[in-house]
Structure formats: C-alpha cells, structure tokens
Structure 1
Amino acid sequence: MNITEHLTALSAGTLIERMGITLVSASADKVVGTMPVAGNTQPAGLLHGGASVVLAETLGSFAAQLHAGEGRSVVGIEVNATHHHGPRDGVVTGVATPVHRGRTTASYEIVIETADGRRVCTARLTCLVLAPQ
C-alpha cells in the first residue's frame, strides 16, 4: 500500500470522507486533494468557506504528518483562510506546500482552485509535531 492509499484508508468514517475529499498525491513536499462543491455549499449555493478550511486543514495535516515521520503525530494549532471566489459547482483542488518544517512545528500554505484555475481560497496551517509516546 502506498502512502496515498494508506492516508485514504485512515480517512474512512471521518469528516474527510463525508466531505468527499479525495487524496490525489502525497509527499512531505506537496499534498494534493480534491473536493466536490456539491454537498459542501452554504444556503446561497456557493462553496461553504468552512468546507474550504476543512480541505485545507486536511491536506496540510497530511503533509505535516509525512514530515513528522513514523511514530510521531501532529495536531493543527492555527489555521487561517482568505476566501477569494465561491464556486457553485464542480470540483475544487487543493495543494499544500511547506512554508516551514521544523522539529516541533510545521506550517503549510494551501491553495484551493477550481478546475479552470480560478483561486477559491488561500489558507495557512500550522501544526504542532508531537513527540513519540
């Protein structure tokens, strides 16, 4: 089982699965995932900003976990997001790339775009890297 399949298996029965998030590729340097707009909208029919944050935190957390390595775990300690565009349909793609990867914290920028490249959200996530227990 490769790392993408492993992370996908860990997502079974979680919010990640309920949101329809699909992991496309995963490495410590870049994590890519998609999420449908349908089912993740707010009452006005636009992609819910909270859904974008869930996608961003999911991808950034996976990247931080890969950085932390086996036997260590990570928890998000800060997330912020700027919403640029609210799509009404289709699928959005998020890409998490590292800003800082240290011994105790790791921060990622997550850019979410529509299929035609329109930026939906720019987020930043910082995770605490926990010592093995």
Structure 2
Amino acid sequence: MQLSKQDVLAKANAASKNTLMETLNIEMVDYGDDFLVARMPVDSRVYQPDGVLHGGATAALAESVGSFASHIFLDIENKFVRGLEITANHLKSVTEGYVYAKATFLHKGRTTQLLDIRVTDDNDNLVSICRLSTISLPKKK
C-alpha cells in the first residue's frame, strides 16, 4: 500500500519525538519522487553567541533531512540507515525566520548513498551547501 504525501510526512515527523529533531523544531514539510524538504526555525535556540544561525544547527538540519530521505526512498523494512560523513559550506548568515533544507540524491546505491542538501532562507537565498553520505545495512532478524 502506497502512503500519501501527508502520511509520509506525518510518519517522519512522528519519528522525531524525543530526539534532536524535536529539540531543534525540525519538521519535514514536503517531498516528491526524488527530494525531501525540512525546515527549522531560526531563533535563540539555534544561535551562535553573536545572534546568528549556528553552523552546527544547520548541519543537524541537513543530516536529519538527508537521513530521512534515505529512509523514505530505500527499503527500510529490511535495512537501517546511518550517516557516514557530512560536509557543510556556510555561505550566508541568518538571524530570523526559517531555514529550509532540500535533500536530493547524487547517488542511490544499495549500500551507500550520497545526498546533496541545499539550505535556503525564507527568501530562497542559499545559506549552506551540504553533502551527506549514508550507509544502509541489513536489519538483524
């Protein structure tokens, strides 16, 4: 049975309870055949001491959306996904509003995956470019 778009997003957001994603208010907001989008509010919880978005919070957003993308687009009945490496190039500061992370696959292999994650602000300005590699391994029966 194929889940609806709303059901997939609701399921992903429900899985975030009592996790870092809930702490940072990261929410999955859109997905299609080859992408997943999450958003995170920019407020004092994710600031550096000088009042701008912390790069670590941006990386957490990117890793969260990339890992969820691997879960959604791979066989999670029989496999689990873990992040292997993340890189983040921060290009613009943000002080308020939301940041949005859109994850798309550059490589979707059976065992390893590589995702491109573009983080933008409310005005669609590019904030960060991230790359995440993940691995999918068999679940023990």
Which amino acid counterpart does residue 20 of structure 1 have in structure 2? N
Pairing partner for 1:74 from 68, 74, 81: 81
Pairing partner for 1:99 from 79, 98, 106: 106
Counterpart secondary structure, 2:21: helix
1:86 corresponds to which residue? 93
Q: So what's the TM-score if we normalise by structure 2?
A: 0.90
Residue 27 of structure 1 and its aligned partner are, at CA, apart by 4.8
The separation in 1 between residues aligned to 2:10 and 2:114, in whole angstroms, is 24
Counterpart secondary structure, 1:26: strand
Pairing partner for 1:113 from 112, 120, 124: 120
**1:36 equivalent in alignment to 2:41:** yes
1:3 corresponds to which residue? 8
Residue 66 of structure 1 and its aligned partner are, at CA, apart by 1.7
Percent identity between matched residues is 35
| Partners of 1:28 and 1:64 within 8 A in 2 | no
Gaps of 5+ in 2: none
Q: Deviations over 1:36-70 (max 9, x none)?
A: 11021100101000010000000000111122222
1:17 corresponds to which residue? 22
Counterpart secondary structure, 2:18: coil
Counterpart secondary structure, 2:47: coil
Q: Deviations over 1:57-104 (max 9, x none)?
A: 000001111222222110000100000011111111110000000010
Aligned length: 133
| Partners of 1:27 and 1:63 within 8 A in 2 | no
Gaps of 5+ in 1: none
The separation in 2 between residues aligned to 1:100 and 1:123, in whole angstroms, is 14
The separation in 2 between residues aligned to 1:74 and 1:68, in whole angstroms, is 9
Residue 29 of structure 1 and its aligned partner are, at CA, apart by 1.4
| Partners of 1:106 and 1:128 within 8 A in 2 | yes
